[in-house]
Structure 1
Amino acid sequence: MPPTPTTRLTTGSDAPADQPSAPTARTLIGVIFALTAVLLVMLCAFALPSVNGGPHHVPLGLTGPQQATQPLQNGLDRDAWDVTVYPNPQALQTAVKQREVVGGLALGTGGLTVYTASAAGQQTSAAINALGTAMAARQQSKATVQDLVPFPADDPRGAGFTATAFPMLIGGILPAIALLRLFPGHANLRRRLAGVTLFALVAGAAVAAVLQYGFGSLHGTYWLTALGLSLGMAALSIPFLALESLLGFAGLGVGAAVMMLLGNPLSGLAGPYWLPTGWATLGQLLPPGASGSLVRALAFFDGTGAGRPVLTLAAWALAGLLAILIADRRTARGPQPETTSVAAI
């Protein structure tokens, strides 16, 4: 008779080697705490700038008799307002239009005139208006408000402009991811670089056309605004490609997270002086904030104040190009992978 097969009980250690092991309870707890930490970081990144929002070293102009301006200057919060005194209302108006100050108060015998520039920041302009109204009430007079640099009549609150930060950020991330999928590998590195550059030019022109001619949110020279938007997108997508070339998809993920969690909430499109000073400075050094400042300068102030954001964005783009060249040379000098012929197999 043939031998009877014996039944053998297997334990977890006897399972096939190719069967994946189930995550342990320790792994589950670690994942839960890691996800909670990410959620808290996102909460702080988006909520803290709003919670601590308010006037922070806002450049404010004053003009009028010294016996009226001096007590007001002494009574203002120095952490909130940086005051400059001008000889007459005309000089103050010029200073607002040239972005030396974002608004001002003109004190005179006929009452008080409040000069604002809502295109420089809606919240800051509202704070200056409230300051002037309160001062006029104490003097039992009336405040007259003149918005010297307003948003266009079709979008008087600047909603279209302030909403551009997130689309511009996505416009920097998506083309990098799409081109990495379509043209993977070191051999397609230059093709990806050409692709993101072309996308930035086309997308910048399209976004500027929609904002200016579709929504009526911008005015100024269309092509300059379009080039500003294109430079902002290139300053995001080229460094993303560089991070992927150096560190793989992990580098792309880290770069996207930094721009999402810091660049977007600190962009200052509603007015950089409404953020705490250190946060505002950091936001203007990142591509989303620099892009917003550049578009604001080109679309509303005839290019005044565009120099610094142009240099910031160009530095990001050039740093990305340099990193891509480093990755290109490092890969070219590396050991070539061995090829095995089909016949040998």
Structure 2
Amino acid sequence: MPPSSPLPGTGRKLALVVLGLAALITTMLCAFALPSLNSGPHHVPIGVTGPQRATDAVRENTDDNAWDVRVYETPAEVRSAVENREISGALAVTDQGVDTYVATAGGPSATGALTALGDGIAAQQKTEASIHDLVPFTADDPRGTGLTSALLPMIFGGIFPALILSSVFPGHRGLRTRIVGALLFSVVAGGAVTSVLQFGTHSIDGSYWLTTLGVVLGMAAMSTTILGLQARFGMAGFAFGGALMMLLGNPLSGLTTGPHWLPSGWATLGQLLPPGASGSLLRANAFFDGASASLPTLDLAIWAAVGIALAFLADQRGKRTAPSPSRLETATA
């Protein structure tokens, strides 16, 4: 007897799987390596105030690709802009010296670069620079270790519920239970994560409930997106959702350095993905009293809505394809 031929379509499926995995690994390498190789200030918004000759000198001596210099009338205005996250820092130039206003909690890398810029301008004017950290990390965690370490638990808080709930409540009948379970988990886990960061390690400050709502929304956006993709596209959807959050969203989140430390295109993509938006929302709520929180909130709400919509479409499709009770009785008769 001739050897049995491969199942129809097996070779095609194998090729698609191999090519898909290769593309995934290549994308992951790009997401981790390219932004790191090109890290540095990229259009970091900063303010400057002082006499016109001084502000003009600052503009002329700064790289347009690194800094986005905006002129303000008074030191009070630049301080307010930093505290409201309109800019990452500012320089107030006077005849007595240079006052450098930074917000370390908004991005430690930008703080270091802006401090060096202020020192350089002060040296040119043969004066001294004074550093004013308007929004620092907490005294118990001055380097922000707790904040930067929170992203992975938040990402896993989106992936694990989708994986475990799909195993416990499989199939079409368990779809709605999986969605409800993911939302409930996000509430419980979000409160727990915020409690550890605020009351355990004292890594964040601000309103506990406001910060908790942001963490809950971030986890819910990630888990519902993965569940929706899985419900609509099966295991391929789950793999794509997990890779999107972990392998692409994690390195592009900018939570450790601040988004302006990544190349512009990568930074924009990272802030649009749920991990980056979650990190930005956590930073805004924990240190800036919710300033500039509207965009990441809207972004996460859209992701959650898309995930639930995909699950709803899969639910409707399952209802149409599921056999009716009368047909089941006929089949078993």
Deviation, structure 1 residue 138: 2.3
Deviation, structure 1 residue 277: 1.1
Query: How many aligned residue pairs are there?
Result: 327
Residue by residue, what CA displacement relative to the aligned partner does 1:165-217 show, whole Å, maximum 9, x if unpaired?
A: 22211110001100000011111111111110000000000000111111111
Alignment pair present for 1:290 and 2:277: yes
The residue matched to 1:151 in structure 2 has which SS? Answer: coil
Alignment pair present for 1:303 and 2:271: no
RMSD: 2.6
Alignment pair present for 1:263 and 2:249: yes
Alignment pair present for 1:94 and 2:41: no
Identity %: 52
Most deviating of 123-132 and 161-170? 161-170
| Aligned residue among 307, 320, 324 for 2:311 | 324
Under a length normalisation based on structure 1, what TM-score does the superposition of the two structures give?
A: 0.88
The residue matched to 2:173 in structure 1 has which SS? Answer: helix
Under a length normalisation based on structure 2, what TM-score does the superposition of the two structures give?
A: 0.91
Report what 1:183 is aligned to.
169
| Aligned residue among 267, 278, 281 for 2:268 | 281
Q: Please tell me whether Structure 1 or Structure 2 has the larger radius of gyration of its CA atoms.
A: 1
Partner Cα separation in structure 2 for residue 72 and residue 41 of structure 1? 39
Residue by residue, what CA displacement relative to the aligned partner does 1:246-271 show, whole Å, maximum 9, x if unpaired?
A: 11112101111122222111111120
Partner Cα separation in structure 1 for residue 283 and residue 300 of structure 2? 14
Q: Which residue identity lines up with residue 167 of structure 2 in the other structure?
A: R
Q: Structure 2 stretches of 5 or more lacking a match? A: none
> Pairwise mapping of residues 194-205 of structure 1 onto structure 2 (< 5 A)?
194-205=180-191
Partner Cα separation in structure 1 for residue 39 and residue 133 of structure 2? 23
> Pairwise mapping of residues 48-127 of structure 1 onto structure 2 (< 5 A)?
48-127=34-113
> Pairwise mapping of residues 239-258 of structure 1 onto structure 2 (< 5 A)?
239-258=225-244
Most deviating of 31-40 and 247-256? 31-40
Q: Which residue identity lines up with residue 219 of structure 1 in the other structure?
A: D
Partner Cα separation in structure 1 for residue 294 and residue 16 of structure 2? 47
Structure 2 CA distance for partners of 1:34 and 1:232, relative to 1, 3 Å: closer
Deviation, structure 1 residue 87: 1.3
Structure 2 CA distance for partners of 1:84 and 1:33, relative to 1, 3 Å: closer
Q: Which residue identity lines up with residue 294 of structure 2 in the other structure?
A: G
Q: Structure 1 stretches of 5 or more lacking a match? A: 1-10
Confirm or deny: 8 A CA contact 2:28 2:248 kept in the other structure: no
Report what 1:222 is aligned to.
208
